[in-house]
Amino acid sequence: MKLTSHLMASTGTSILLYPFLGMDAGFFWASSILVDADHYLDYLYRNGLKDFGVKRMFIFHRILSEGAAGAPNFLGLNVMHTLEFLLAVGALAALTGYASVWAAFWGMVFHIALDLIWLSRRAILTKRALSIIEYAIRWNLMKRRGWDPERPYVSAIESTLNE
């Protein structure tokens, strides 16, 4: 899902939640947007820290989304979108009991739910691993089948850095 779509959905939902959450609606909003920071981290990792351009990060992910996502050897991982990360934030919310941390947790859940709907509508729901463990297992299975799961990323980086 595009950043502008997330911004609109998160802003509207946060406004609706404000009468119930008060200022904690801001934590809902911020977390539902900032959870996508892992896309930038993914871009940095994939390019070997050679390029820090945010604009090129968006190009990189557009190329992956439009082309590679349908390839049989493609598997995406966004660390902050995983069950493990959600469980860690949920545990922090439960341990602290802070309403702001709970609001941030639910903002992340909201964001991920929107992503899953978007991926499902594009018929590529299974192209994003929802767990780090799932990712490791599926990545290794692809390699055993003779597929190169790194290739879509290499191609996308090459195309991005050549633009």
Successive 10-residue mean pLDDT values, the chain, 163 residues:
91 97 98 96 95 94 84 92 98 98 98 95 92 97 95 93 80
Angle at 124 between CA 79 and CA 129, to 5 degrees: 25
The span from the CA of 28 to the CA of 6, in Å, is: 12
Report the pLDDT value the prediction gives residue 3, as an integer from 0 to 100.
Answer: 87
| Owning domain of residue 14 | 3-161
Give the number of domains in the chain.
1
Report the pLDDT value the prediction gives residue 68, as an integer from 0 to 100.
Answer: 76
**Beta bridge partners of residue 76, listed in sequence order:** 128
Instruction: Indicate the burial class of 132 (C-beta count within 10 angstroms; 0-12, 13-18, 19 or more).
Output: middle
Report the pLDDT value the prediction gives residue 70, as an integer from 0 to 100.
Answer: 74
